[in-house]
Amino acid sequence: MSLSRFLIKRSLQGLFVIWGVITVVFGLRFISPGDPANVLLPPDVDPEVRAQVIAELGLNEPLYIQYWEFISGVPVGDLGLSLVTRTPVTARVLAKLPATLELAIAATVVAIVIAIPLGVLSATRRHEPADYGATVFSLVGISTPNFWLGVMLIIVLSVQFNLFPTSQRPIGFDGIVGLLTSGNLDAAIDGFGTWLWHITLPAITLGTYFTALITRLTRSGMLDQLGQTYVRATRAKGLPETLVRYKHALRNTLIPVITVIGLQLGTLIGGAVITEAVFAWPGLGTLIINSINARDWPVLQGSLIVVAVGFVLVNILVDALYAYVNPQVAYD
């Protein structure tokens, strides 16, 4: 199967998944407790005012009409209006997406940069102190809840030693690019410094579990590959050990690692909720929490659709990369 046919097939599957997510999320609002009108208005508000607000929000329409109105807007990017701010959901969600993407990608970069070398080191120095160190690190990393880690990093590194800010995102990557394109190089460099300074702790917090996971995966994959007969054959052929390890063994190890990285990146986009709350990071996670608290269903639906789309896209991308990394894998 050609790459383009593969992408079309996977995209259609992805659309089906996204439709499923939309339908489930839409259905959830009707079995969840709490009427949006009761959250938006005090309980003793005049019944007429309540009825007006409910009508204005379209909450008194039959279910199938509400569903149709919602789903028919999705293909054209119309996710409706927020119940609380009455602003378009699409704009609101898209405004938050860069912050979450930045955080997810930064966490992934932290994870890849640390985990793959560490995993390789651990596998090639098996039963040596470096291996024990890496193993203990990954055990601790996997077992540490990230809300605790985030709070601890803030208390120690921010409050105690004053090395990092506790929270906020004063400038985004889009802002830095904006400065760059306007030719203001010094400001862009300053902006990048500020951005890096603010994103370091959230990225570490979000990425630690991920780092530990990839370290373990790389270590066990490498050990597995290094024991294979083809590795023995390459060694027997007289290839230098570096080439054996990095060209042959590592490349094969990376196949499952890339799968996990892809899946985890999708998870990170939707799973940064706690980290965002701890660092007051203005991304999708914060938006999701606020919209749940306010029963702002359109915003919640919109956020989850974006997360679902992100997840599906990353998965398609990972599958496409798969064949690139391992030509034995065919697009089917």
Closest approach, Cβ 209 to other proteins, in A, equals 19
Closest approach, Cβ 202 to other proteins, in A, equals 11
Q: In terms of CB distance, is 8 or 159 closer to other proteins?
A: 159
Asked whether position 187 contacts other proteins by CB under 8 A, the answer is: no
Q: CA-to-CA distance for 72 and 80, rounded, in angstroms? A: 10
Asked whether position 163 contacts other proteins by CB under 8 A, the answer is: no
Asked whether position 173 contacts other proteins by CB under 8 A, the answer is: no
Asked whether position 289 contacts other proteins by CB under 8 A, the answer is: yes
Q: In terms of CB distance, is 28 or 71 closer to other proteins?
A: 28
Contact set for other proteins, span 263-282 (CB under 8 A): 277-280, 282
Closest approach, Cβ 157 to other proteins, in A, equals 11
From residue 317, alpha-carbon distances to 94, 104, 157, 163, 224 in Å are: 21, 16, 37, 37, 26
Closest by CA to 210, choosing from 114, 313, 318, 307, is 114
CA 134 to chain centre: 25
Asked whether position 13 contacts other proteins by CB under 8 A, the answer is: no
Q: CA-to-CA distance for 291 and 84, rounded, in angstroms? A: 9
Whether 308 contacts 14, CB under 8 Å: no
Pick from 45, 65, 113, 329 the residue near other proteins by CB under 8 A.
Answer: 45
Closest approach, Cβ 22 to other proteins, in A, equals 23
Q: CA-to-CA distance for 61 and 63, rounded, in angstroms? A: 6
Asked whether position 59 contacts other proteins by CB under 8 A, the answer is: no
CA 213 to chain centre: 15
Phi, psi of 281 (to 5 degrees): -85, 120
Q: What is the binding site for other proteins (CB under 8 A)?
A: 33-35, 38-46, 49, 52-53, 56, 84-87, 92, 95-96, 151, 154-155, 158-159, 162, 165-168, 277-280, 282, 286-287, 289-290, 293-295
